[in-house]
Amino acid sequence: MFQLILSAALISLAAANVYFCVRLLQWLPPVHWVCRVAVALLLVCLSLSFIGAMLLRHSDVSEWLVRGLHAVGTAWLVFMLYWTMAMLVADAVRLLLPQFRHGFPLAVCATVCLLVYGYLNYINPRVSRVDIPLRGLHATQPLTVVGISDVHLGDGTGRNRLADYVDLINAQKPHLILIAGDLVDNNLYPLKAQHMADDLNRLYAPMGVYMVPGNHEFIAGIWEVERYLRDTPVRLMRDSVAVLPEGITLVGRDDRHNRSRLPLGQLMSLVPQDRPVIVLDHQPSEIALADSLGADMIFCGHTHRGQVWPFTWLTDAIFDQSHGYRRLSRVQAYVSQGLSLWGPPFRIGSHSELVVFRLLPQE
């Protein structure tokens, strides 16, 4: 099934690029055939740049080349998505109004404006604030917990962006920091080359920084990621339980990529019954189970809420809870849209977000 979907996506992308090339050459004034060939070759390079970045990510070529190909390639993918939709609308208008001759430049301008908005939306994450009353919380004052997920440090999210994120997190003065997976993207090489551990070491919360792995930690190599994080304040939890101050018990789940991960019920059997229990799980697939097992709060990520429309509709259809806050019979669940993103640097129909939970004693 995955191969079928991938093949359909690649065929659609190739068709869209051919469509764009034909319409561009039709719109351009008559020029020498050499110029037309040059334009066609440029479009081929644009369409293949993302694939090139993926093929070169483990090679010895310059990191800047890989990052450049990644940025150009992922941006081109989203450009083609929205330009194709805009151009189909323009072609439909031309069928009704044959005198309409400006569909191509208007579609390009509309797409560029939309991508500018999407980029600005991405680099300005939303700070979402949620009050969470918890039974058995011993704190005499509200506890501030910062929750993040899906930072995807690597070729797309580099050290400069990470430095901004760390500043934003520390500015909340958190007592506790929770990371719901996918801190790393596809491999550790960009993190090491850019010395990103220096910025991770600036994270500070007196109750600690706890993280569970996501699927991308497994793509990057879970054991290498685990060794890398040992030199940072980030404590990686893989099917483990941590007893925190103020009566809080934290249950950290391994990602579903580990087919041998422990059942949530087995982990919940290890926690005291009179303490508030927070479950940290990358994928929001067992929220109802956490509710039935007596968890008080669960924090997840993974979905990005589709990142760009219309994929927002897809994630909303796939997941019972694709983003935001929901209270079930007992558990209070929050699914983050992700602090950063994977692939194209745009947020259209979704938001980059940092979540600030205020934990309150339940009256």
Answer yes or no: do 183 and 59 share one domain. no
List the structure tokens of 42: 């440029």
Select from 96, 122, 148 the last residue of a domain: 122
**Look-up of token digits 């962006």:** 161
pLDDT above 50 (res 2)? no
Q: Could you give the percent of the chain with pLDDT greater than 70?
A: 93
Q: Do 302 and 356 sit in the same domain of this protein? A: yes
Decide: 135 and 363 in contact? Cβ < 8 Å: no
Is the same domain home to 142 and 82?
no
Domain carrying residue 355: 127-361
What are the pLDDT digits (tens) for 163-189? 999 999 999 999 999 999 999 998 899
Contacts for 104 with CB less than 8 Å, ≥ 6 apart: 23, 24, 26, 27, 87, 90
pLDDT of residue 62: 64
Decide the pairing of beta strands 277-280 and 297-300.
parallel
Distance CA(311)–CA(306), nearest Å, equals: 5
97 and 139 in a single domain? The answer is: no
Q: Provide the percentage of residues in the chain whose pLDDT is more than 90.
A: 63
Better pLDDT: 302 or 4: 302
Mean predicted confidence (pLDDT) in 60-81: 78
**102, pLDDT greater than 90:** no
pLDDT at 240: 95
- Out of 89, 122, 155, a domain closes at 122
Same domain, 136 and 275: yes
The answer to whether residues 132 and 118 belong to one domain is no
Residue 62 or 340, more confident = 340
| Domain match, 113 and 134 both | no
Claim to verify: residue 279 and residue 229 sit in the same structural domain: yes
DSSP codes joined into one string, 1-60: -HHHHHHHHHHHHHHHHHHHHHHHHHHSPP--HHHHHHHHHHHHHHHHHHHHHHHHTTSS
Q: Give 18's pLDDT tier (boundaries 50, 70, 90).
A: confident
The CATH number of residue 139's host domain is 3.60.21.10
pLDDT of 128? 97
Distance of alpha carbon 150 from alpha carbon 302, whole angstroms: 6
Instruction: Taking residues 236-255, report their average pLDDT.
Output: 94
Which residue is it, tokens 């259209």?
A: 348
Q: Is the pTM value of this prediction over 0.95?
A: no
Q: Are residues 141 and 59 in the same domain?
A: no
Averaged pLDDT of the chain? 89
Domain count, the chain: 2
Give the pLDDT confidence of 59-68 residue by residue, as tens digits: 666 667 777 7
Q: Do 146 and 290 sit in the same domain of this protein?
A: yes
Last residue of one domain, picked from the residues 65, 95, 122: 122
pLDDT, residue 57, reads: 65
Average pLDDT over residues 274-282: 94
40 band by pLDDT with thresholds 50, 70 and 90: confident
pLDDT category at 249 given cuts 50, 70, 90 is very high
Strand-pairing partners, residue 356, are 129, 146
Write out pLDDT tens, residues 180-233.
999 999 889 999 999 999 999 999 999 999 999 999 999 999 999 999 999 999
Same domain, 332 and 241: yes
Determine the Cα–Cα distance for residues 189 and 155; give it in Å rounded to an integer: 9
The verdict on 213 and 350 lying in the same domain is yes
DSSP state of 334: E
The predicted model gives 142-155 an average pLDDT of 95
